[in-house]
Amino acid sequence: MPAPPPGGDTPPSDGFDYPLTLSVDYPDRDLDRLSTAFRIFTVIPIAILAATITGGSFTTTSGARYVGGAVGILFIPVVLMLLFRKKYPRWWYDWNLQLTRFGNRIVVYLALMDDRYPSTDEEQALDLDFPYPDAEHDLSQGLPLVKWFLAIPHYIVLIFLTIGAFFAAIFAWFAILITGRYPRSVFDYVEGVIRWHNRVGAYAFLLITDRYPPFSLRP
């Protein structure tokens, strides 16, 4: 039997099979016009709740430290742990995954892609996942120090894509108020921009992969 060609098991680099996956269920139904009309106001309570995840702290006489919130996405601690211990603590990964899902549910709701109020724990219309990294074998020890810098080309592209997504959401707002439906092509574009943001975040800040994100809106 001939030997398999070299690199045959290498994951594709065109955006398919990227470690972070994100999809939003298209609402093939009439959306709530009233909720859509006042979405900029109805999102405020859950946005405030998300903001309180970063809060003050106090220390008891026993030395135990309690926080009014947590510290958001764990980035610098993960950098230091990878740099000196080559380890990604599992509970840090779980925290980053769940917080990323929660934040994206709010973004999906604000972008009018789902008229159900964002849940703090249920996945709802959003399916976002990334695998727990094998830090010992799959992650570079020093690369996390510069990933944020290497991702600069993505930041530049995302500025323009996000502006486009903003105007696309405004167009969808009028479309939903008139027809009750979110135009599918607009939905796919906004979903692609959200996915692109998350892939860059997975590489540069969540640090769950060393694979450079693709310049693609596609799944």
- Report pLDDT for 4: 43
Give the mean pLDDT of the chain.
Answer: 88
Mean pLDDT of the region 93-112: 96
- Report pLDDT for 52: 87
- pLDDT over threshold 60, residue 161: yes
- Report pLDDT for 16: 61
Cα 123–Cα 126–Cα 128 angle in degrees, nearest 5 = 90
Mean pLDDT of the region 8-26: 72
Q: Going by C-beta distance under 8 Å and a sequence separation of 6 or more, which residues neighbour residue 203?
A: 147, 151, 209, 210, 211, 212, 213
What is the phi/psi pair of residue 15, to 5°? 105, -15
- Report pLDDT for 54: 62
| pLDDT bucket at 57, cuts 50 / 70 / 90 | very low
Mean pLDDT of the region 165-188: 98
- Report pLDDT for 218: 93
Mean pLDDT of the region 56-67: 46
| pLDDT bucket at 71, cuts 50 / 70 / 90 | low
Percentage of residues of the chain with pLDDT beyond 70: 84
- Report pLDDT for 46: 96
Nearest of 149, 197, 176, 187 to residue 39 by alpha carbon:
176
- The model carries a pTM of 0.87
